[in-house]
Amino acid sequence: LKTFEHIVTSTNGRLGMIALNRPKVLNAINRKMVSEILEAMEGFDRDNEIRVIVLSGNGRAFAAGADIDEMMDDSSIDLELLNQFTDWDRLAQIKKPIVGAVQGFALGGGFELALCCDLLFASNDAEFGFPEVNLGVMPGAGGTVRLTKLVGKTKAMEWLFTGKRVSAEEALHYGIINRIVAPELLEEETVKFANTIANQAPLSIRLMKESVLKAIDYSLYEGMQFERKNFSLLFSSNDQREGMNAFKEKRRPNFSGN
Protein backbone atom coordinates (compact mmCIF):
# COMPACT_ATOMS: atom_id res chain seq x y z
CA LEU A 1 0.00 0.00 0.00
CA LYS A 2 1.11 3.50 -0.82
CA THR A 3 2.13 5.85 1.98
CA PHE A 4 0.27 9.15 2.07
CA GLU A 5 1.04 12.40 3.84
CA HIS A 6 -2.32 13.23 5.45
CA ILE A 7 -4.12 9.89 5.64
CA VAL A 8 -3.26 6.36 6.70
CA THR A 9 -4.56 3.43 4.71
CA SER A 10 -4.62 -0.27 5.50
CA THR A 11 -6.61 -3.38 4.72
CA ASN A 12 -8.51 -5.51 7.20
CA GLY A 13 -9.71 -8.63 5.40
CA ARG A 14 -12.15 -7.41 2.78
CA LEU A 15 -12.22 -3.86 4.17
CA GLY A 16 -10.18 -0.98 2.81
CA MET A 17 -9.49 1.33 5.73
CA ILE A 18 -8.77 5.05 5.42
CA ALA A 19 -8.01 7.18 8.49
CA LEU A 20 -7.59 10.94 8.30
CA ASN A 21 -4.32 11.84 9.95
CA ARG A 22 -3.81 15.48 10.91
CA PRO A 23 -4.88 15.15 14.54
CA LYS A 24 -3.05 18.32 15.69
CA VAL A 25 -5.42 20.43 13.60
CA LEU A 26 -8.44 18.19 14.22
CA ASN A 27 -7.94 16.63 10.77
CA ALA A 28 -8.59 19.91 8.97
CA ILE A 29 -9.01 18.95 5.34
CA ASN A 30 -6.54 20.52 2.96
CA ARG A 31 -6.60 19.94 -0.79
CA LYS A 32 -3.84 17.38 -0.71
CA MET A 33 -5.82 15.38 1.84
CA VAL A 34 -8.87 15.36 -0.43
CA SER A 35 -6.82 14.13 -3.36
CA GLU A 36 -5.24 11.47 -1.14
CA ILE A 37 -8.64 10.31 0.10
CA LEU A 38 -9.80 10.13 -3.51
CA GLU A 39 -6.71 8.24 -4.64
CA ALA A 40 -7.05 5.74 -1.79
CA MET A 41 -10.76 5.26 -2.42
CA GLU A 42 -10.31 4.77 -6.16
CA GLY A 43 -7.56 2.26 -5.44
CA PHE A 44 -9.81 0.26 -3.11
CA ASP A 45 -12.67 0.58 -5.59
CA ARG A 46 -10.58 -1.18 -8.25
CA ASP A 47 -9.13 -3.79 -5.85
CA ASN A 48 -10.97 -7.10 -6.20
CA GLU A 49 -9.98 -8.15 -2.68
CA ILE A 50 -11.79 -5.17 -1.16
CA ARG A 51 -15.56 -5.04 -0.76
CA VAL A 52 -16.24 -2.16 1.60
CA ILE A 53 -14.37 1.07 2.36
CA VAL A 54 -14.22 2.37 5.93
CA LEU A 55 -13.41 6.05 6.51
CA SER A 56 -12.57 7.36 9.96
CA GLY A 57 -11.02 10.27 11.81
CA ASN A 58 -8.27 10.15 14.35
CA GLY A 59 -7.80 11.80 17.76
CA ARG A 60 -10.44 14.34 18.87
CA ALA A 61 -12.21 14.66 15.55
CA PHE A 62 -13.47 13.10 12.38
CA ALA A 63 -12.61 16.42 10.72
CA ALA A 64 -13.19 20.01 11.87
CA GLY A 65 -13.66 21.32 8.33
CA ALA A 66 -11.65 22.56 5.43
CA ASP A 67 -8.22 23.87 6.36
CA ILE A 68 -8.93 27.53 7.06
CA ASP A 69 -5.23 28.47 6.86
CA GLU A 70 -5.01 27.11 3.34
CA MET A 71 -8.00 28.96 1.92
CA MET A 72 -8.17 32.23 3.83
CA ASP A 73 -6.16 34.24 1.28
CA ASP A 74 -7.71 32.74 -1.85
CA SER A 75 -9.51 34.98 -4.30
CA SER A 76 -12.60 33.94 -6.26
CA ILE A 77 -10.48 33.58 -9.35
CA ASP A 78 -7.95 31.41 -7.49
CA LEU A 79 -10.82 29.13 -6.52
CA GLU A 80 -12.32 29.11 -10.00
CA LEU A 81 -9.00 28.18 -11.57
CA LEU A 82 -8.24 25.62 -8.89
CA ASN A 83 -11.49 23.76 -9.63
CA GLN A 84 -10.92 21.72 -6.47
CA PHE A 85 -14.41 20.33 -6.22
CA THR A 86 -14.03 18.01 -9.19
CA ASP A 87 -12.29 15.71 -6.67
CA TRP A 88 -15.53 15.70 -4.68
CA ASP A 89 -17.49 14.84 -7.84
CA ARG A 90 -15.25 11.82 -8.25
CA LEU A 91 -15.73 10.80 -4.62
CA ALA A 92 -19.42 10.57 -5.41
CA GLN A 93 -18.61 8.04 -8.16
CA ILE A 94 -17.06 5.42 -5.85
CA LYS A 95 -18.99 2.22 -6.51
CA LYS A 96 -18.28 0.24 -3.36
CA PRO A 97 -20.09 1.08 -0.14
CA ILE A 98 -18.36 3.56 2.15
CA VAL A 99 -18.95 3.26 5.88
CA GLY A 100 -17.89 6.27 7.93
CA ALA A 101 -16.95 6.23 11.61
CA VAL A 102 -17.35 9.66 13.21
CA GLN A 103 -15.91 10.60 16.58
CA GLY A 104 -15.82 14.13 17.90
CA PHE A 105 -16.20 16.96 15.41
CA ALA A 106 -17.56 16.56 11.89
CA LEU A 107 -17.81 20.19 10.87
CA GLY A 108 -17.94 22.07 7.59
CA GLY A 109 -15.95 20.12 5.00
CA GLY A 110 -15.68 17.34 7.59
CA PHE A 111 -19.47 17.08 7.72
CA GLU A 112 -19.51 17.17 3.92
CA LEU A 113 -17.03 14.30 3.85
CA ALA A 114 -19.19 12.36 6.31
CA LEU A 115 -22.19 13.00 4.05
CA CYS A 116 -20.23 11.41 1.18
CA CYS A 117 -20.27 8.14 3.14
CA ASP A 118 -23.13 5.75 2.44
CA LEU A 119 -23.56 4.65 6.03
CA LEU A 120 -22.38 6.34 9.20
CA PHE A 121 -21.59 5.12 12.68
CA ALA A 122 -20.86 7.76 15.29
CA SER A 123 -19.65 7.76 18.86
CA ASN A 124 -21.91 9.48 21.37
CA ASP A 125 -19.51 12.44 21.56
CA ALA A 126 -19.87 13.15 17.82
CA GLU A 127 -20.98 16.65 16.80
CA PHE A 128 -22.06 17.58 13.29
CA GLY A 129 -22.49 21.05 11.91
CA PHE A 130 -21.86 23.67 9.28
CA PRO A 131 -20.08 26.58 11.02
CA GLU A 132 -19.26 28.28 7.69
CA VAL A 133 -21.77 31.04 8.46
CA ASN A 134 -19.49 32.10 11.34
CA LEU A 135 -16.65 32.59 8.84
CA GLY A 136 -18.72 34.57 6.36
CA VAL A 137 -18.74 31.77 3.82
CA MET A 138 -20.87 28.70 3.12
CA PRO A 139 -20.41 24.99 2.36
CA GLY A 140 -18.90 24.32 -1.05
CA ALA A 141 -18.49 20.57 -1.31
CA GLY A 142 -22.13 19.54 -1.38
CA GLY A 143 -23.20 20.52 2.13
CA THR A 144 -26.26 22.61 1.26
CA VAL A 145 -27.33 19.98 -1.26
CA ARG A 146 -26.72 16.70 0.56
CA LEU A 147 -27.98 17.96 3.93
CA THR A 148 -31.17 19.30 2.35
CA LYS A 149 -31.84 16.08 0.48
CA LEU A 150 -31.24 14.13 3.66
CA VAL A 151 -33.12 16.10 6.33
CA GLY A 152 -35.31 18.47 4.30
CA LYS A 153 -35.33 22.23 3.90
CA THR A 154 -36.53 23.18 7.38
CA LYS A 155 -33.76 21.62 9.46
CA ALA A 156 -31.12 22.20 6.79
CA MET A 157 -31.74 25.96 6.82
CA GLU A 158 -31.86 26.08 10.62
CA TRP A 159 -28.52 24.32 10.97
CA LEU A 160 -26.85 26.18 8.09
CA PHE A 161 -28.10 29.61 9.21
CA THR A 162 -27.20 29.19 12.88
CA GLY A 163 -24.01 27.15 12.42
CA LYS A 164 -25.12 25.18 15.47
CA ARG A 165 -23.58 21.82 16.31
CA VAL A 166 -25.91 18.84 16.22
CA SER A 167 -25.37 16.00 18.70
CA ALA A 168 -25.11 12.34 17.72
CA GLU A 169 -28.61 11.82 19.21
CA GLU A 170 -30.09 14.54 17.01
CA ALA A 171 -28.16 13.28 13.98
CA LEU A 172 -29.62 9.81 14.58
CA HIS A 173 -33.10 11.27 14.98
CA TYR A 174 -32.84 13.00 11.59
CA GLY A 175 -31.45 9.96 9.80
CA ILE A 176 -27.97 11.40 9.26
CA ILE A 177 -26.30 8.46 10.99
CA ASN A 178 -27.14 4.77 11.28
CA ARG A 179 -26.03 4.07 14.82
CA ILE A 180 -24.46 5.57 17.94
CA VAL A 181 -21.82 3.59 19.79
CA ALA A 182 -19.57 4.21 22.78
CA PRO A 183 -16.30 5.92 21.73
CA GLU A 184 -14.14 2.95 22.78
CA LEU A 185 -16.27 0.61 20.63
CA LEU A 186 -16.57 2.81 17.55
CA GLU A 187 -13.85 1.15 15.50
CA GLU A 188 -14.78 -2.39 16.48
CA GLU A 189 -18.51 -1.92 15.85
CA THR A 190 -17.93 -0.13 12.56
CA VAL A 191 -15.64 -2.91 11.34
CA LYS A 192 -18.14 -5.57 12.43
CA PHE A 193 -20.93 -3.81 10.56
CA ALA A 194 -18.76 -3.22 7.47
CA ASN A 195 -17.92 -6.92 7.47
CA THR A 196 -21.58 -7.94 7.44
CA ILE A 197 -21.93 -5.85 4.27
CA ALA A 198 -18.67 -7.26 2.88
CA ASN A 199 -20.15 -10.76 3.19
CA GLN A 200 -23.20 -9.92 1.08
CA ALA A 201 -23.30 -10.42 -2.68
CA PRO A 202 -20.97 -7.63 -3.89
CA LEU A 203 -22.72 -6.96 -7.20
CA SER A 204 -26.10 -6.65 -5.48
CA ILE A 205 -24.60 -4.10 -3.10
CA ARG A 206 -22.86 -2.27 -5.92
CA LEU A 207 -25.94 -1.90 -8.10
CA MET A 208 -28.22 -1.09 -5.16
CA LYS A 209 -25.86 1.70 -4.09
CA GLU A 210 -25.99 3.08 -7.61
CA SER A 211 -29.79 2.84 -7.72
CA VAL A 212 -30.28 4.48 -4.32
CA LEU A 213 -27.99 7.38 -5.28
CA LYS A 214 -29.90 7.80 -8.54
CA ALA A 215 -33.16 7.80 -6.58
CA ILE A 216 -31.99 10.95 -4.79
CA ASP A 217 -31.75 12.77 -8.14
CA TYR A 218 -34.35 11.13 -10.31
CA SER A 219 -38.12 11.22 -10.42
CA LEU A 220 -39.88 8.06 -9.26
CA TYR A 221 -40.49 7.01 -12.86
CA GLU A 222 -36.90 7.54 -14.01
CA GLY A 223 -35.57 5.94 -10.84
CA MET A 224 -37.64 2.85 -11.50
CA GLN A 225 -36.45 2.63 -15.10
CA PHE A 226 -32.88 2.80 -13.83
CA GLU A 227 -33.52 0.24 -11.08
CA ARG A 228 -34.91 -2.40 -13.43
CA LYS A 229 -31.87 -2.22 -15.72
CA ASN A 230 -29.68 -3.01 -12.73
CA PHE A 231 -32.10 -5.73 -11.62
CA SER A 232 -31.85 -7.36 -15.06
CA LEU A 233 -28.08 -6.97 -15.13
CA LEU A 234 -27.69 -9.08 -11.99
CA PHE A 235 -29.18 -12.05 -13.87
CA SER A 236 -25.94 -12.26 -15.86
CA SER A 237 -23.92 -12.78 -12.69
CA ASN A 238 -22.56 -16.00 -11.20
CA ASP A 239 -23.74 -14.77 -7.84
CA GLN A 240 -27.39 -14.70 -8.94
CA ARG A 241 -27.11 -18.40 -9.86
CA GLU A 242 -25.17 -19.14 -6.70
CA GLY A 243 -27.64 -17.28 -4.47
CA MET A 244 -30.73 -18.89 -5.94
CA ASN A 245 -29.17 -22.38 -6.18
CA ALA A 246 -28.05 -22.12 -2.56
CA PHE A 247 -31.61 -21.25 -1.59
CA LYS A 248 -32.99 -24.31 -3.41
CA GLU A 249 -30.26 -26.54 -1.97
CA LYS A 250 -30.89 -25.16 1.53
CA ARG A 251 -27.28 -24.09 2.06
CA ARG A 252 -25.47 -20.79 2.60
CA PRO A 253 -24.43 -19.04 -0.62
CA ASN A 254 -20.78 -18.41 -1.34
CA PHE A 255 -20.61 -15.17 -3.29
CA SER A 256 -17.61 -14.48 -5.51
CA GLY A 257 -18.50 -10.98 -6.68
CA ASN A 258 -18.85 -11.81 -10.34
Does the protein bind ligand CO8 through residue 140 (CB under 6 A)?
Answer: yes
Q: Using CA atoms, how far apart are residues 155 and 58, in angstroms rounded to an integer?
A: 28
Q: Which is nearer to ligand CO8, 44 or 130 (CB)?
A: 130
Out of 112, 127, 187, 227, pick the active-site residue: 112
Q: Is 198 a catalytic residue?
A: no
Among 68, 145, 215, 234, binds ligand CO8 (CB under 6 A): 68
Among 36, 118, 132, 239, binds ligand CO8 (CB under 6 A): 132
Does the protein bind ligand CO8 through residue 66 (CB under 6 A)?
Answer: yes
For ligand CO8, what does the binding mask look like between residues 229 and 258, x meaning CB under 6 A? ------------------------------
User: Which residue pairs from 129-137 have beta carbons closer than 8 angstroms and sit at least 24 positions apart in sequence?
Assistant: 129/159, 129/163, 129/164, 129/165, 129/166, 130/159, 130/160, 130/163, 131/65, 131/107, 131/163, 131/165, 132/65, 132/108, 132/160, 132/163, 133/160, 133/161, 133/162, 133/163, 134/163, 135/68
Q: Which is nearer to ligand CO8, 164 or 179 (CB)?
A: 164
Q: How many CB atoms lie within 10 A of CB 125?
A: 16
Q: Is 132 a catalytic residue?
A: yes
Q: Using CA atoms, how far apart are residues 171 and 102, in angstroms rounded to an integer?
A: 11
Q: Which is nearer to ligand CO8, 42 or 47 (CB)?
A: 42
- Could you tell me which stretch among 48-56, 95-103, 129-137, 225-233 binds ligand CO8 (CB under 6 A)? 129-137
Q: How far is CA 44 from CA 7, 128, 210, 219, in A?
A: 14, 27, 17, 31
Q: How far is the CB of 53 from ligand CO8 (least distance, A)?
A: 18
Does the protein bind ligand CO8 through residue 43 (CB under 6 A)?
Answer: no
The maximal CA–CA distance of the chain, rounded, in angstroms, is: 65
Give ∠ CA 35-36-39 in degrees, rounded to 5.
85
Q: Is 66 a catalytic residue?
A: yes
Q: How far is CA 145 from CA 158, 167, 168, 216, in A?
A: 14, 20, 21, 11
Q: How far is the CB of 221 from ligand CO8 (least distance, A)?
A: 34
Q: How many CB atoms lie within 10 A of CB 189?
A: 17
Contact set for ligand CO8, span 14-33 (CB under 6 A): 25-26, 28-29
Does the protein bind ligand CO8 through residue 115 (CB under 6 A)?
Answer: no
Among 41, 64, 91, 151, binds ligand CO8 (CB under 6 A): 64
The residues carrying an active-site annotation are: 66, 109, 112, 132
- For binding to ligand CO8 (CB under 6 A), which residues are involved? 25-26, 28-29, 34, 64-69, 105, 107-109, 112, 131-132, 135, 139-141
